[in-house]
A and B are shown apart, each in its own frame.
Chain A
Amino acid sequence: MSSILNRRRFLIGSGVAASAGLLAGCDILPGNDTVADILGLGEKLTMASQRFLLSDQALAREFTEADLSPVFKSNGTHKPDSDEYDALLANGFADWRLEVSGLVTQPLSLSLADLKAMPARTQITRHDCVEGWSAIGQWTGVPLGLVLKAAGLKTNARYVVFHCADEYEQTLDGSGQYYESIDLVDAFHPQTILAYGMNGKDLPVENGAPLRLRVERQLGYKQAKYLMRLEIVESFANFYRGKGGFWEDRGYEWYAGV
């Protein structure tokens, strides 16, 4: 085979190089931190305008039982992969406790029975996944606002951080642990509930048993499953990678109203 670079080969080679360069060029900007910061202005504008347009109490649409999805898709973790969770599940979550700590005057440790004894809210709402699909489910639980009032917030409290039982990604530094956070506007919204029931039954394992968050005016990844601990904080900057949630740490918007 001749090693002489003939014109045809040269043209093919440079064509491939040029298109590869073009494609790489298209991907240089998406990988750049400064560009990400500029584009992040979109999220700030979205949050500011939605908070302006949307009263703190405006409800997400509620549906009827006739609208329920035949199958409510289970996404993300289907069952936490830990001996601790297996033991809780084996015992019907009788030993499970929801810890409420941080900037509160009265730290709490609530059993499932404690939560079920509190006033409940049931709502049929649409769950919108960031991927684009939607499902309609019925949720029963205790309004988060009631739990926060029972714990008593300190004046510098700003966010609720939800610590979950599932490690969604195996990482050396533990940053693959699922967690989420919302601010107090969303935390005290009437439809923001800690749900232990779904479609008239106990919350199934694949949908987050024994307790999950519903924050209905935001996307699916905010609806943290397998809740273990609520931590009331002034800032979430020190948790894991500092963006306020498992998916936020991987580039998704913290304000997931769109």
Chain B
Amino acid sequence: MTPSATQPANEIPIRGRTLIRRHSLAVRITHWINVLCISVLIMSGLQIFNAHPELYWGQYGADADPSIISLGAERDGETVKGVTRIGDLSFTTTGVLGASIINGELRPRGFPTWATLPSYRDLAEGRRWHFFFAWLFVINGVVYLLYGFFAGHFRRDLAPRKSELSPGHIAHEVIEHARLRFPKGEAARNYNVLQKLAYLGVIFVLLPAMVMTGLTMSPGMDAALPWLVDLFGGRQSARTIHFISASLIVAFILVHLAMVLLSGVFNNLRSMITGRYAIDSEGKST
């Protein structure tokens, strides 16, 4: 799947377009397993969060201790209202966060039923799904990392070139993206620098942070790897970072899906399923 300037023999231009091989089989399979794992992990994670919808900083934190983020419910006359609090700021979020409809009735609940797995309150079930898919996610991630390093995927496709990292080039890409003008022709053969940086950030920062902060919430692993808890400033800090990292991953997914939709949903989906991606063979660049 090496993209190159010279046209490989298996690339056939048809009506001004060339189908190139974009994603290797290993990337495609690990991508879709990741989609499954992260979807289940987020939804079951919200179920687990709902068991105690408050976040703290430091070694400990329970009801009597000051939280830094909470999704709470307050009495509001005959009914309840949802209140989301971040530090000293608080927002009324009735219906979505803090309190939402359960069986036709507004009740205290961190995240609403449609966002959690299972939809009904069941911490044990949520944990069972979370830990099984965490194992699958880690195994899949290790396979991807081994492939990425040894097959040259990271070096070839994700490592930014020096010229791409110049502030001028990055600024240009940001403006082009903001105007929804995506690379065409030869330039579309490779990821642009914003894609590279976003993917590298997710692969080497956010997802490892999820796994490591996840491990620190295990009292067994804390005895095995005490330095890991210290790295995040305590078990409750690690839990908070776990939640913040998950929020950043959700933000990444939203932008990622928006980009897929805006830059050609059919072409992008085909390339992630069959590996084939169509580029403008005239090499026109707008």
Contacts and interface: CB of A to CB of B under 8 A. Distances in A.
A30 B218 CA distance: 23
A99 interface: no
Contact of A23 (B113, B124, B217, B239): B113
Interface string B15-28: 00000000000000
Interface string B112-124: 0110011110111
A258 B223 contact: no
Residue of B62, B125, B218, B224 with most chain A CB atoms under a 10 A cut-off: B62
3 cross-chain pairs, A with B, having the tightest CB-CB distances, nearest first: A257-B220, A251-B124, A42-B132
A70 B129 CA distance: 34
Interface string A2-43: 000000000000000000000100110011000010111111
A67 B118 contact: no
A133 B122 contact: no
A30 B117 CA distance: 8
A134 interface: yes
B267 to A, nearest CB: 28
A31 B129 CA distance: 12
A133 B132 contact: no
Interface string A60-78: 1101000101110100000
Interface in B204-223: 217-223
B236 interface: yes
B125 A71 contact: no
B114 A132 contact: no
The prevalent SS among residues of A at the interface is loop
Contacts of B124: 247, 250-252
A132 B223 CA distance: 18
B149 interface: no
A30 B122 CA distance: 10
Nearest to A130: B123
B135 interface: yes
Interface stretch (A149-157, A196-204, A211-219): A211-219
Most buried by B among A39, A50, A133, A216: A133
A132 B201 CA distance: 27
Interface string B35-73: 000000000000011011010100111111100000000
